[in-house]
Structure 1
Amino acid sequence: MELDEWELSVEELDSLERDALQKISQQRHSSSSSSLSTNQQQPGEVPSRILPASVAPKANPADQCSKEQLPKVSLKFILHATGNIAAKFPYNQVLVDAFRKIPKATWNAKERLWMFPQSSLSLAEKVPCEVPGCNIEVENLHPLVQRAIAAASALPDLQGFLSPLSQSFYRFSGMAIAVAACVRDSWPVLILAPSSLRLHWASVSSHQLHMIEQWLNIPPSDIVKYWKRYYQHLQVVFSQMGGSNRSGFTILSSNSKGDIHLDGLFNIISYDLVAKLENVLMASEFKVVIADESHFLKNAQAKRTTASLPIIKKAQYAILLTGTPALSRPIELFKQLEALYPTVYRKVYEYGERYCKGGVFGTYQGASNHEELHNLMKATVMIRRLKKDVLYQLPMKRRQQVFLELTEKDMKRISCLFCELEVVKGKITMCKSEEEVKSLKLVQKNLINKIYTDSAEAKIPAVLDYLGTIVEANCKFIIFAHHQPMIEAIHQFLLKKKVGCIRIDGTTPASSRQAFVNDFQEKDAIRAAVLSIKAGGVGLTLTAASTVIFAELSWTPGDLIQAEDRAHRIGQVSSVNIYYLLANDTVDDIIWDVVQNKLENLGQMLDGHENSLEVSSSQEHRSPTKQKTVDPIHQGSPGKQKTLDSFMKRCNNMDDAEHQSKLKYPRNM
């Protein structure tokens, strides 16, 4: 039996409440009856304290029942995590009796809420008006929430059409394909994807048959593939025709003078080409549209977003796929939600005020009402599948911080920039005009970006020194970086050491990426993958490595998580060790804090609880060639690192004081 903090069961508490309320009601009734009998005029008695009927003011029933004179009761309707509606109010027997009469209403004793299905909301909203003797202050569901619930309830439930096999796909990995199988009468299908993922959808690899051919039994001849050939700057269509192409596709240029006809059952196009072929796509009347990695549509001003949304809105069935719907903040969800429910998410202002903590000049960079937004998406649009829920046998992921020792020469320039930054911050606090604040904020942003690039260059020698120890371990590893100088230095270092490696960054042709991935996965001689965080962090499977290194950080937590998961995914048989190479008094101090704060907001919004980059341990890397003797405790963990608990959660095994003192403490900006 479940006990609460008073050591009483829920049933016992409810019983006590009912008994107490009943006694209070009886006492009030008894007192009222006594008062009434005292004031009644007896025959022959002179009513010394009662005005004659001709003089006494006539009682106004409205005044007697004035709500201002009645005890106030607060009633709040909320959208529960289960998708049902919940009513929250302090104990009131009259209200309890009223909610008991609502169809399918149940008492949630654990959370002390009355729960009922969305279909009963209209009846529940009438309760405050129909309950006598109470002054009820009602907080209804937000209008946006009500519209979203109504729109979602009007849609058909496709699960009823799924076969048992398709339901298995639907619940775990093949959601889009299973839904497409349910609506075969509405084919053909248009698939929008990042350029690097088009082959994932449309080609047959050496490891597995491509998903469409295998699951839906669709021949390659019915798959039309748009492709961009970087060297020729052409957009082309792949379609099987006599096996003239090694992948079984015939290449047609979208720059040809003739019209482009999308006549395949499955038509795959990159986001970058949607704007160019927008008229063709709109005229093709696709009723089923799948948008892979839909967070690519987060930017309202981007061409890919403005071109893709009308196509998705026009479709009868739209499926958006992404493991990270928002990379940093709730506003990144708006365009995706608008694509699915254009009649619900009509005004960015309404959404921004509710879930983005308002915003100056419509920027909406904040976050608010996390729980409601999470419950709303879960109830209307989001099927969230976490690895821990579906991949029970996937090995653990273990993060470690490695603090690099930079030379005074490397640090001198960065220290000067930080001094400039402090001066600018001081000026901002002294500003009296808004224009001056804007100007100085821009200067501050440029300085931080300068610190970002200079920190990368300053870290290069220490990163390469650390990389030497990894090379000696003779294991396969992935190393991520952001700036080209860092990527180039790492690549050249590995080539000089004669370490077989692949390199994927923004300059790598999309047509070559899968071949590089296959080499890394299959060839023992290829021991390293040098990747940019942006270009190499999405759509690649690199499970041949169980060691992941970050030479730099990204401002966007979603980028880091996705990059980590290139190795931590289906097919991984070993625990994945992730090493973040950090340097004190560099931009790492700023970014680590920013990433943690953003992750907390994203976790509440998407998963219903705060997330963080949990670090299991920290260590300091010192070059063996350096003779300078420094106390490692003080060097790796200056006094400012004592209060890390204020911004980052730790794993349970981090009780050791030595490890705790070395964890990174952010620079407060």
Structure 2
Amino acid sequence: MSQRAPRRGGATRTAPRDHARSAAPDGEGVIPVLARTVRQVEAAAQRGKVRPSQRTAYQVVALLVREERARVKADTTISESERTAMLTRLEGIATILAKTAARDTSLLELLTDGAVVSSAAIDLKNDLLRAAGREPEPEPTPVVSPTAPFASASPRGVVPKTVIARQLANPFLAPDFSALPAPKPRTNRLGGWELLSPLFRAFEYGGDATCMPLPEPTRAVHGIKGLELMHHQAQVVAAAAEGHRTFLLADEPGLGKTAQALLAADAAQAFPLLVVVPNVVKANWAREAELWTPRRTATVIHGDGDTVDGFADIVIVNYEILDRHVGWLGAHGFRGMIVDEAHFIKNKSSQRSQHVLEISERIRSKHARALFMALTGTPLINDIEDFKAIWQFLGWIDGTKPRHALMAALEETGLTPADHGFYAAARTSVINQGIVRRRKVDVASDIPARRVADLPVELDDEASRSIRAAEQELAARLVKRYDAALAARPVSVVVEGIDHDMVRKVAQWERKNATTATTGDNVFTVMRKIGQAKAGLAADYAAQLARNVGKVVFFAKHIDVMDIAEQTLAKRDIGYASIRGDQTPAVRKANIEAFLTDPEVSVVVCSLTAAGVGLNLQVASNVVLAELSWTSAEQTQAIDRVHRIGQTEPVTAWRIIAAQTIDPRLAQLIDDKAGLAARALDGSDEEVGSSADLQLEALMAMLTDALEARGFAG
């Protein structure tokens, strides 16, 4: 009678071999031990009773899963099929860890950077290793946290909990080396040359081409709400779809670089995608992602990242807080990285540049076909060595010499820096790596002669709280008067839902009495607070535009907003002139002349009422509207200071909108009044409604929203 083979021996024939057993045949194997232990913790979490001992077990399993994965990957004695099978089983254990943490989120604290590994955890770890047939190694130092790959050199480094949850759910982000190896140059005539300085000089010498060859788009590319890319935008997306993976996108402001970058990432399947931006445009990137890539989720990192969605497709972070997150961002598994206003990293010794370069190298080491895009409006012929860090971010150079792709292109020229024609050929070689530079005048047929582009900004916490409180106070006063009016209404009058006639009457009363009220905020004081809160952000954006394209016209309604803007520009070393209502004619004339003729004066800060008519400022083609007007005509008149006879470029007006305030609603009301034709700024100055009408509708909208929010109709 034959005997049944022992289970342990049978397992080695029916399943991929756990290589730990070959070293210690008396043991059970690491993976089965971990699987059994994690199931026990999972069962406790399902019952809602995770005891301290099980919390310790959870932490130890996470430690050992990571260690075992590293050991299996490095083991050269096992076959590729065995390695794949073992990594798959470890991934299954990690998935159970993630599901368990989802039931009891306090378990995530055991995996945070700097989490204490107790002596009990070390003892349990050794016990599990012995059960697996492996003698524990001595512990000369405390056990490293399982989040070690996330560790940051910065003492402020953080790892958001949802990021840890994502890592546990998919812990084995295998490197993608599917691309063909970088081509080796067929010659080595440039091997002994120092090439970076000649490459920079090639751009200083100038040349005809400023843009790589771009393919013709084969189909229209759409966002939501009927949005469609313009031809010049669709060309970049087509290049990404054809396989190009590095872009220095240097189009002038107003040509839609954000939409191009997002849709290029979509065409390249470069998700998850990391986007590093200045703080002033962080909210705008989130908004643009919603418009152009609605199938992809976007999350914005604020502060320590407590609200970040670790599972999002698009992660947006500003330069100012990058130091806190550089550790986990480099290990998150991004397949693409976009750096907006990339000239911010021109100083390679700065912390922000070093963080950007570190993250890009870590992404590049894991994904050979990752997408890298640097966005900037700065002309390429100015201070070209400032682009050294950008070229390194894109992977064209390594800091001292060209990398493989650029070196192969230079070798293909057949020239050296000593040869005639090298500099023109080298310039073309660099441009073909992915430089895209178009001016408004180059694509004038694509864009309207005048257009308004909304730029949503997020206010800082203190200003946001103050404005929210003022808006809530105003809404509460409107609701109270509405309720009082309803109570005084004859019983015979019955209106289903919200009484919109009553809403209008209440709003009319508020507008009429707004300026005579002795206490409380009104619609005018609320709008003034919003203007004050976004003044610095608006001036920051004007400074960015000035550095990119030259002259900028800045409009504000209130003197204190102008004051804040001028202080901000002075801090940014941006030369400015000022046009106000209290100036003498001589001062006004001198300031206008300085803006028109002095190359050091980049911004003119204008009062809407004092400078909205009668000025010719067509030396600029970009306007910043820091505060919303009460009429579309006032807005149009301001833009007309730039869009006049003699203007040779399309004009863009950047309307700064404070997110999560009444600002977006007011902007929508202005646009609705003006109509679609006026929204496109086709040259019509026709007034559609008065300022009183717009104020009234803003109050009606605020009251209606408040009534709907409390679920009370009437």
- TM (normalized to structure 1)? 0.32
In terms of fraction of residues, the more strand-rich structure is 1
- TM (normalized to structure 2)? 0.31
In terms of fraction of residues, the more helix-rich structure is 2
